[in-house]
Amino acid sequence: MAAAQQLGGRRVWVRHQIELLQRISRQREEDKYTDFTLKSKGKEFRVHRNVLAACSPYFDTLFQTNMMEQQSGMATLNFTSAEVMEELLAYMYSGSLRIQEDMVEELLKTADHLLMAEVKELCIQYLLEQLDVSNCLAMKALAQVYKADHLLKAANETIRKNVHAVIKREETLDIPLQSVQELLADDLLQVAKEEELFGYLVSWTKRDLPERKDHFPSLFSNIRLTDIPKRYLEEYVKTEQLVTESEECQKYIAKQTSTSEEESSGQLNARSGKMEEVVMVTGGVSRSPGNEEGTTEMLCYLPRKDTWCQLCPLNYAVTFNAIAALNGKVYVAGGRLWPENRVTSFVSCYSVVENSWTRVRNMSAKRANFALVPCNGCLYAIGGKSERIFLGGSIGEVPVTTVERYYEANHTWSYIPSMTKVCSDVEAVATSDHIYLTFGKDQNGTNIAGNGHLPYYNVKTNVWSKVSATCPISMSRGADDENQIMVSFLRDNKIHFLGLVDGDSTTDGFYQYYDIAADQWTAVTIDWPVFSPGVILPQNISLYTPVHNGNIFICCTLDNDNIGVNSEKTYYRGHMLTLKDKFLDLERTYTTTGVSSVRPAPTSSGCHLDIPQKHLRAFAKDVTMSMPLL
């Protein structure tokens, strides 16, 4: 009692639990007081009944019954390996568990059989940490077998968000029928192109045609035909042999494409998770007759519908900012605040789910005219112009060499190695682990990548280097007597450049690309499509976006007097061109923002991503005004 009073009446254990486990573990090693034997795949383990019963309800029940194992003092566990049993016994006697990739599934299976809930939960947590696109289907199957709700939910979310990548994996062609049925029937799949699911279904069926052919019609009924472009439906779906040979498929097509009210009522609606391909545009100067002002609007271009809409605006006006998409969110960083024209380090994040902006951690440096590039799960702010206070107190802008990286998980910016030269007006493209600068001006206004020796940063080695090969056509921007870069983009592991040749003809253009793997440049001469007689759009590029779903979108801003409209008005108009996959031709669309108060402008910035249609329907405000072009 005196000792308890000295300790304030508290109960203390010192190291009793740890020491007790250590002593019991040594007793097992020395085979002292052991009273039971476990056998697994030919190996015997001498153990204590009370330890087994305390750690596993399975053994606790076994020792309370008059079963053969209880009488013989021995149990054979044929459902697990000796290695896994050794790990579980180590956990029972020490509280320490070693989980490895090559044994986690069997460990989970055994823990489930022995009703060891804590071990099962540890295995599930390990699997959650390993979950990615490459194993999400297998993880889902495990979660369903062992009723792991958290793992099942996470696996489903991974499949839904990455279905495009999942169905392109070779092993997905070998998943069982039930898994294919669940995949195609999932209403929350964030699929941008329904025809990709049809293509996958055909490939899965033909993988083992004799066994799978009879299942094709029922699986085909999960394809939302009303979401498939008419041309694809006519040329590929209706002509597919698996479809033409099935009366059930023919009836399904007729029902889904029927225009009659009675028939169309049975159609499957668009998936709730269906993704809409969009181009996000924000910031810049909005120009109208006799007036220019900074804009806070967030514009959204929908290529499939060739329309513009407006989402939640920023809470500050900014120009010469940068924008990038990362993990389904949109980040706007830096730029010059309007009307102060002061360079800022602000960073704001747009949630497509809530249609709202949140200020996140500022960049370490103030930047304008810089590149914001997503790569390997992070954002990189590269170069640009920053503010500097000169002698006498005047404030000016100077190009910089600094580069910083943003970690989304903890919202922090940190500097990484700087470039070897100052660089502003930066443009860049990224592979999985490299960032290539495709344009940038040094202190003399010269393009640092003009001769094709593109500077690039290796995110794994943390080192800057330069491409060694020289491009056939030197590139610049801003002078009439040089080859003018219009856009640069990454596709098929090649960096492509489009532009005008020498400025001596408004219809002559160049196309050249750098093959990263081969370290080689190739050039091709092409003709640009004209907007109207004598007018060519590439001279008036405002912004463009990286390749997405096979397309690149280019926003060209033209004054009215350039297109034959009332010359007293000088509204900017956002004409979008689409560079289709595997084609050099630009397909011009006819949508403009008309005389709306919202206009893409030469100082805007844009990025490309997919947004669930349900969010666009809930938040988007239509600002489209189409007009015939002369």
Kindly report the backbone phi and psi dihedral angles of residue 503, in degrees, each rounded to the nearest multiple of 5, phi listed first.
70, 5
Please name which of 630, 627, 486, 480 lies closest in space to residue 561, comparing C-alpha atoms: 630
Nearest to 466 by CA among 478, 450, 454, 477: 454
Distances (CA, A) of 344 to 323, 364, 398, 415, 421: 14, 10, 14, 17, 22
The pLDDT assigned to 348 comes to: 96
Instruction: Compare 610 and 417 and report the one with higher pLDDT.
Output: 417
φ/ψ (deg, to 5) at 355: 55, 55
Residues 6+ apart with CB under 8 A from 532: 563, 564, 629, 630
Beta strands across the sheet bearing 573-579: 541-544, 552-558, 573-579, 586-588
Average pLDDT score over residue span 172-180: 95
pTM: 0.69
The residue that leads in pLDDT, 406 or 478, is 406
- Is the pLDDT assigned to residue 483 strictly greater than 80? no
Mean pLDDT, rounded, for 336-344: 90
Closest CA to 96 of 130, 124, 119: 119
Query: How far apart are alpha carbons 522 and 496 in whole angstroms?
Result: 10
Residue 410 confidence (pLDDT) above 70 = yes
| Range(s) within the chain of domains with CATH label 2.120.10.80 | 275-622
Cis before residue 339, ω within 30 degrees of 0? yes
- At 282, the pLDDT band (50, 70, 90 cuts) reads confident
Nearest to 367 by CA among 388, 386, 393, 342: 386
Q: Strands of 434-441's sheet, edge to edge?
A: 424-430, 434-441, 455-458, 463-466
**H, E, C per residue of 304-346:** CCCEEEEECCCCCCEECCEEEEECCEEEEECCEECCCCEECCC
Which helix (H) or strand (E) segment holds residue 222: the answer is: none
Residue 441: beta bridge partners? 424, 447
Look at residue 525 and tell me whether its pLDDT is greater than 80. Answer: no
227 or 367: which leads in pLDDT: 367
- Give the residue range(s) of CATH 3.30.710.10 domains in the chain: 18-130
> How does DSSP classify residue 289?
T
Look up residue 199 and give its DSSP letter: H
Q: Which of 26-35, 549-558, 576-585 has the highest mean pLDDT?
A: 26-35
pLDDT above 90 coverage of the chain, percent: 47
Q: Sign of dihedral through CA atoms 441, 444, 449, 451? A: positive
Mean pLDDT confidence for 273-282: 83
Query: Who's near 352: CB < 8 A, 6+ residues apart?
Result: 328, 329, 330, 609, 611, 612, 615
Residue 357 has pLDDT above 60, yes or no: yes
pLDDT digit string, tens, across residues 115-146: 999 999 999 999 999 999 999 999 999 999 99
For residues 577 and 360, the model is more confident at 360
* Range 275-622 classified under CATH 3.20.20.80: no
Strands (E), 41-143: 43-47, 74-76
Determine which of 128-132, 263-267, 460-464, 596-600 has the lowest per-residue pLDDT on average: 596-600
Q: Give the pLDDT score at 553.
A: 65
Which has the higher per-residue pLDDT, 198 or 623?
198
Per-residue pLDDT at 546 exceeds 70:
no
Cα separation, 392 vs 129, in Å, equals 56
pLDDT at site 364: 95
- Tell me: domain 18-130, CATH 3.30.710.10, correct? yes
Contact 553, 544 (CB under 8 A): yes
Tell me if residue 144 falls in helix, strand or coil.
helix
Cα(183)–Cα(223) distance, integer angstroms: 11
CATH of 183-264 given 3.30.1340.30, 3.20.20.60, 3.40.50.720, 1.25.40.420: 1.25.40.420
The mean pLDDT of the chain is 81
pLDDT score for 69: 75
Percentage of the chain beyond pLDDT 70 is 77
Q: Where in the chain is the domain with CATH 1.25.40.420?
A: 183-264
* pLDDT the model gives residue 70: 75
